[in-house]
Amino acid sequence: MHGLGLLLGGAGILATLLPLLRQTAWWIRVCDFPRLQIVAGLLLSLLLLALPGHRLWLAHAPVVLGMLGLTVVYQASRIWPYTTWHRKQVQDSQRRPDDPNHISLLVTNVLMYNRDASRCLGVIREKQPDIVLAVETDEWWLSQLQGLTKDYPHTCHAPLPNTYGMLVFSRLPLLTKEIQFILDPGIPSFHGRVRLPSGVEANLHFVHPKPPAPSESKTSTRRDAELLLVGRAIQVHDGPTIVAGDLNDVAWSHTSELFRRLARLLDPRVGRGLLPTFHADYKLLRWPLDHVFHSAHFRLQHIERLPYIGSDHFPIFIRLSYEPQGWQSQEAELEAADAEDRLEAREKIHDAAVEEPA
């Protein structure tokens, strides 16, 4: 049992140390994702190693158990903000759900090879969001969702057969709308402005970069750079802003935190729970990949992970309330980018510019 405990503990320590190297290789960056699972493995390791053993083990036990304990504390500290025991970063809105300053968004990665659109359409009809963002959408999915245009007349589409297609449906007017291919001709992103029922205008940025995975991209370089380029673009405007999509990154990763500091955005998950959206088929292997970040202009009216739709991702629904009087209190939660952050962002963007697309 001690051997199994040592094996689990060693793997947990290694998976904890590798991301600290700030290397972009996919097999290093994937260690950012399963922090909760790593904590569980480390705790099991501690339990096994706490069992009585022979003299040789007893002589080294304090050092080994101490290392494992410190690793558990570090990993737990990374996911602690995404528990209900942590202070909320985004304040709750007390306004009614039908307030004209509200905007609701449903984000869904439909899984391109999923050919059952009925469940996806079902959650859309149930939640009645102001905007629907659907990714991994090809021409078949566009044909299945096209009926939404009756209630969502403002659209912008980039259906693709490569699992990176993107469809946007809005019942609110899109004052500007543009599909951009920031770094890769096969990876679209949406950028525009929407008018709320109250007349307030908000900036929208919807993204779905490639994940660091052997079948997708051998490094996280271009994913990181795409997020950081969007973050730099947000710095140019100072109005209400929402960023959403399947970011193929977890909120507690170094890159996600750097992106939010550059763009000065808040994460409504902080203090409310993980709301893991991937992998829908495996309960023990889940983490939050689908996100909505926003500027301090908004408070939260509601956030919810939606039911299974046949995809490997759960959809996520959010309703935000534009409340400019809340800026001062919420801006205190923002951590501004410093000179070191800006230098790191420039270096990551430069590295992506010279790296060949996967």
What's the confidence (pLDDT) of residue 172? 98
Q: Given a cut of 50, is residue 56 above it in pLDDT? A: no
Cα–Cα dist 235/238, whole Å: 7
More confident residue, 256 or 21: 256
Kindly state the percentage of the chain with pLDDT values over 90. Answer: 79
pLDDT exceeds cutoff 90 at 315: yes
Contact assessment for residue 167 and residue 196, using Cβ atoms and an 8 Å cutoff: no
8-17, 47-56, 137-146, 268-277: lowest mean pLDDT where? 47-56
pTM: 0.94
CA distance 53 to 1: 9
What is the structure's pLDDT at 97?
80
Going by C-alpha positions, the residue among 170, 237, 245 that lies closest to residue 210 is 245
If you average pLDDT over residues 235-261, what whole number do you get?
93
Task: Give 243's strand partners.
Answer: 205, 293
Please check whether residue 181 is in contact with residue 208, taking contact to mean a CB–CB distance below 8 angstroms.
no
d(CA 222, CA 70) in angstroms, rounded, equals: 33
User: At residue 59, does pLDDT exceed 60?
Assistant: no
> What's the CATH number of domain 102-350, 3.60.10.10, 3.40.50.10860, 3.40.630.30, 3.90.105.10?
3.60.10.10
**In the chain, beta strands by DSSP E:** 102-109, 131-135, 154-158, 166-170, 174-180, 189-195, 201-207, 241-246, 290-294, 298-305, 316-322
- What is the C-alpha to C-alpha distance for residues 68 and 64, in angstroms, rounded to an integer? 6
Q: Are 315 and 123 in contact (CB under 8 A)?
A: yes
> How do 241-246 and 290-294 pair as beta strands?
antiparallel
